[in-house]
Amino acid sequence: MTTLVRAIVGAVVLAACPEVASQALPQLSQRPVFHDGALSVSLIELISRPNDFSGKRVIVKGVANIEFEGTALYLHSEDRVYTNYPNALWLSLSRDSPLYKPSLTGKYVVVVGEFNAGWRGHNGVYSGTITNIQELTRLHQRR
């Protein structure tokens, strides 16, 4: 069976059987917890299921953009270049913060902070906001 056929069959099964889908997706209580209770989540999960994570401390990876009125975490570098705001989260980070490093722009980073689904960042165009950021660190490629 080809990979495409497996993917299609899997999608059909998950769509047809909600009980299987609920078991296939990790529940919040089953996730690894790090950094004083922060949940390790994907940017896709935060964008697609914001209310499940609102008010929770999260660890998330993405492409940083650190600039005045544009500090955000994007899903892909192309989303950052083309300002695809729906695929990004606003990073509530003061320019006075030691974590505010424009040199991280365009780099793949990890962010630890509190997710707020109701606050959609500057001009309300982002898919949520990460506040109370305690870590913003560049990730390096595996060798």
pLDDT tens-place string over residues 94-139: 999 999 999 999 999 999 999 999 999 888 899 999 999 999 999 9
Same domain, residue pair 14 and 76: no
Give residue-wise pLDDT tens across range 23-75: 554 555 455 555 578 999 999 999 999 999 999 999 999 999 999 999 999 99
Same domain, residue pair 46 and 72: yes
Domain span at residue 19 reads: 1-25
Q: Residue 122's pLDDT is what?
A: 85
- CB-CB neighbours of 12 under 10 Å: 10
Q: Residue 26's pLDDT is what?
A: 54
Asked whether residue 143 is assigned to any structural domain, the reply reads no
Same domain, residue pair 37 and 1: no
Asked whether residue 96 is assigned to any structural domain, the reply reads yes
Same domain, residue pair 49 and 19: no
Record the pTM: 0.76
Q: Residue 1's pLDDT is what?
A: 53
15 pLDDT more than 70 = no
Same domain, residue pair 16 and 36: no
Residue 38 sits in a domain whose CATH number is 2.40.50.200
Q: Which of 93, 138, 96, 86 is nearest to 113 (CA)?
A: 93
Q: How many domains does the chain have?
A: 2
Q: Residue 94's pLDDT is what?
A: 92
Same domain, residue pair 90 and 117: yes
Same domain, residue pair 35 and 50: yes
Query: How many whole angstroms separate alpha carbon 99 and alpha carbon 46?
Result: 22
Q: Which of 99, 51, 86, 93 is nearest to 70 (CA)?
A: 93
